[in-house]
Structure formats: C-alpha cells, structure tokens
Structure 1
Amino acid sequence: MPIFNSTPGPRKMESGRRRSEAELRQVFMQFDSDYDNCLSKQDIKKAFNYLGALFPGFRANVAFNMADTNKDGLISLDELDAVVKYASDIGL
C-alpha cells in the first residue's frame, strides 16, 4: 500500500547541478518556518532534504553543530554562512 506525503511545501530540487552559495543561502532561508531570520535544526533538515542531500538528518546535524557557535539552538544569519559553505563543499 503506497504511503503519500500530505505535507505541503516545496518539491525537491533537481539534483546533479551545483548551486552557487547565493542560491544555497536563498534555499535555506525559504525554510525559515517562523520568519524570524533564524533556522532551527528541523528547518535545516528540511532544506537539506529539499536540496536532495543523502541522509538529510545527518547533514543537518553536522551543519548545525558546526555553525551554531553561540549554542542557542538556532542558526542566525551570521551563522548561516558556515551552513552554506558546508552545503557547497558536499556538492549541493
């Protein structure tokens, strides 16, 4: 029996094309679920999934632990640069 994802939201991007850091930043900011210019770990995971990353939960954990320098549990605009660089480095 097929299981359908009824969660509305953006469809996955086509994979196989490297994106610029500006494009990656824009994608991550699309997942700012409460529009506070900060990203939660869940927001980051959704963005990695959208970008077609293998193991998006793992990728989100790595990026989050690396970027959340003030350990407040959110990725601010200043901290987002590290997440974008990580996404670029892994070929997204």
Structure 2
Amino acid sequence: MPLYNPQSILPPQAFLSEGLMKEIFKRYDKNGDGKLNKKELAEAFKNMGAFIPAWRAHCAMAHADSDSNGVITPDEFQHVIIYANKLGYTVWNDT
C-alpha cells in the first residue's frame, strides 16, 4: 500500500486524459517547439484568470520543471496542471 496517493487528496479534474493534456499543451505552445516557456505559461495563467500571471508562471516552472532547463515538456505538464488545480484554477475551461 503506497504511503502517498495524490489521487486521494486532489480533485479528479487534476488528472486529465492524455488527449486533453496534449490539446491544452498545444494551445499554449505558441512557437511550436514542443515545450512551454515562461511567457507561454504566463499566457496560460492569464487565460485562467491569474492576477499576476508572470508570477504564477514562475512558480509553476519552479514546481514542475524537474530537469531545471527553463521549459516545461509534455512529460512535466501534468505537474503544472496539478499545481494550477491546487490553486483553484480550471485548466480545461479557459478560452
């Protein structure tokens, strides 16, 4: 039995289907390089209604950029979604 099960403490919407995650990722990957930089993350947080989107992007980057290369890869993106959900943002309903 695992000691830590994130699904037991996070809302179900924090865990999106792979297809939906790819769709959201592509929406914000404006330059099409397959990665999200801080500017692209800030745009995502702006669309989610963040008061200071650049700060939220900075914090999300610190939380999710596991290899510290300054960008979020598709593999790291789930951690951004979990971070945003913990703060009360809805990632999939933004425009």
Question: TM-score if structure 1 supplies the norm length?
Answer: 0.69
Aligned to 2:64: 67
Q: 1:32 aligns with which of 29, 32, 37?
A: 29
Alignment of 1:1-92 (within 5 A): 20-21=13-14, 22=16, 25=21, 26-92=23-89
Provide structure 2 residue ranges, at least 5 long, that are not aligned to the other structure: 1-12, 90-95
**Matched letter for residue 73 of structure 1:** G
- Once residues 34 and 82 of structure 2 are traced to their aligned partners in structure 1, the CA distance between those partners, rounded to angstroms, is 18
Provide structure 1 residue ranges, at least 5 long, that are not aligned to the other structure: 1-19
Bigger fraction of residues in strand:
1
Note the C-alpha offset of 1:33: 1.1
Bigger fraction of residues in helix:
2
Aligned to 1:3: none
RMSD after superposition: 2.0
